[in-house]
Amino acid sequence: MLEILIKKLPGTDDLPSMQYMSSQAAGMDIYAALTEPVTLQPGETKLIPTGFQMALPAGYEAQVRPRSGLALKKNIGVLNSPGTIDADYRGEVGVILTNFGHEPFTVQRAERIAQMVIAPVITAKLSFVQELPDSARGSGGFGSTGLQH
């Protein structure tokens, strides 16, 4: 099993630790480490602190993703989804929440605001060439493959 070092920041002892909510969950829930509630107005984006730092092993990233319940029921999402936390980042993890809805949404301390998935990273070697090999699709994009029924 992969080990990730977590440092809880001062003033967060009352917050639940990140955790998988089921035995086969892909993501761990992340909690808001707010000192006071924060209200997101419709269309507004704010950085929400989580109260922890971490050290990922080289070759891995943490992806911060929206929680499906908040997205469906409250129209709250993670703006840069998935947000990437690199293995060499050591600052506090923050979640960029956006209110895509029409009603204000208030984030409370200890509220589950996002999920974090740990994933391997493949580092690519870039080879700059004059021509690319042909493919069946070619340069078509944005719907060029048609609708499949």
At 13, the pLDDT band (50, 70, 90 cuts) reads: very high
> What single-letter DSSP state applies at residue 82?
S
Q: What structural domains and CATH numbers belong to the chain?
A: 5-120 (2.70.40.10)
Give the per-residue pLDDT at 140: 78
Amino acid at 31: Y
Binding site members = 67-69, 80, 84-86
Residue 109's CB is within 10 A of a number of other CB atoms, namely 16
Q: Which residues are annotated as a binding site for substrate?
A: 67-69, 80, 84-86
| pTM value > 0.85 | yes
Task: Confirm if 37 and 106 have CB atoms less than 8 A apart.
Answer: yes
